[in-house]
């Protein structure tokens, strides 16, 4: 995909990876750029920096998503690229209450379902569009310390694959972004074990993720891996699941000892 002159929407765009992607799109000559976040002040600040538009949106609110898509396409032009980057996490496992699990499921999976539900028909009619979903290496491997994040990011990857397979003949392209450790506010809030995991696996800056996104979109790659070693880890996991589980158990033990 050529992002020059494109109409691009970035959810979760007020900070972290979303902000870095927006900065890169702007630098590369995006046409109309829309920064979307529940953090209105943050979205406005990023938009002001880039000469973009800012929108306050709960990505799980379907009626609000419908209204936003319609308004953007009416005022700025057809959406060429939708970056579903908003995500949340919580430290813990099966002991976490249903409300916590459901909230993470809704943001990390259902928000993408909702966006695709209302973008795909428009893209089919126009003959194409590009959907970028920010998952995580946790969606290809797993994540220590936060079960809801690992589970929902697996769901995000599966959804991206399904959309890519189902709508390819209509010119719809999908990219699935799966970084490992990235220095973002969400990572810092995930808890001590999660922080130690990403440090152990190599923490990079959001700008490096944005650089990988630019290359991946230009190549129409499905899987975008800012940490290339994730591909090898995924192969090892698939090749010998028991050995991989044993290795992860040892890693967890070393980090909490």
For 102-143, what is each residue's pLDDT tens digit? 999 999 999 999 999 999 999 999 999 999 999 999 999 998
Across 21-41, average pLDDT: 98
Tell the CATH topology of 7-232. Rossmann fold (3.40.50)
Q: What is the DSSP string of 33-56?
A: EEEEES-HHHHHHHHHHHT-EEEE
What average pLDDT does the chain have?
93
Confidence of residue 73 (pLDDT cuts 50, 70, 90): very high
Active-site amino acid positions: 149
CB distance 159 to 133 below 8 Å: yes
Question: What is the predicted pLDDT for the residue at 13?
Answer: 98
Model pTM? 0.92
Angle (deg, nearest 10), helices 111-126 and 62-75: 30
Question: What is the predicted pLDDT for the residue at 93?
Answer: 95
């Amino acid at each position: 995909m050529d992002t020059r002159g494109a109409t691009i929407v970035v959810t979760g765009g007020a900070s972290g990876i979303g902000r870095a992607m927006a900065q890169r799109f702007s630098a590369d000559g995006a046409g109309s750029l829309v920064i979307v976040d529940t953090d209105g002040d943050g979205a406005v600040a990023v938009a002001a920096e880039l000469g973009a538009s800012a929108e306050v949106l709960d990505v799980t609110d379907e009626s609000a998503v419908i209204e936003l898509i319609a308004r953007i396409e009416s005022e700025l032009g057809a959406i060429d690229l939708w970056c579903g980057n908003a995500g949340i996490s919580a430290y813990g496992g099966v002991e976490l209450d249903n409300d916590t699990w459901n909230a993470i499921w809704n943001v990390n999976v259902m928000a993408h379902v909702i966006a695709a539900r209302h973008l795909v028909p428009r893209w089919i009619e126009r003959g194409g569009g590009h959907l970028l979903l920010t998952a995580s290496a946790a969606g290809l491997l797993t994540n220590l310390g936060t079960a809801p994040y690992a589970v929902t990011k697996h769901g995000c990857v599966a959804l991206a694959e399904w959309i890519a397979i189902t709508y390819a003949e209509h010119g719809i392209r999908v990219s699935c972004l799966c970084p490992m450790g990235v220095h973002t506010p969400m990572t810092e809030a995930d808890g001590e074990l999660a922080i130690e995991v990403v440090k152990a696996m190599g923490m990079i800056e959001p700008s490096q993720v944005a650089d990988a996104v630019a290359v991946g979109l230009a190549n129409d790659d499905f899987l975008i891996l800012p940490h290339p070693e994730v591909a090898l880890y995924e192969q090892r996991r698939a090749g010998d699941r028991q050995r991989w589980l044993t290795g992860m158990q040892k890693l967890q033990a070393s980090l909490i000892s």
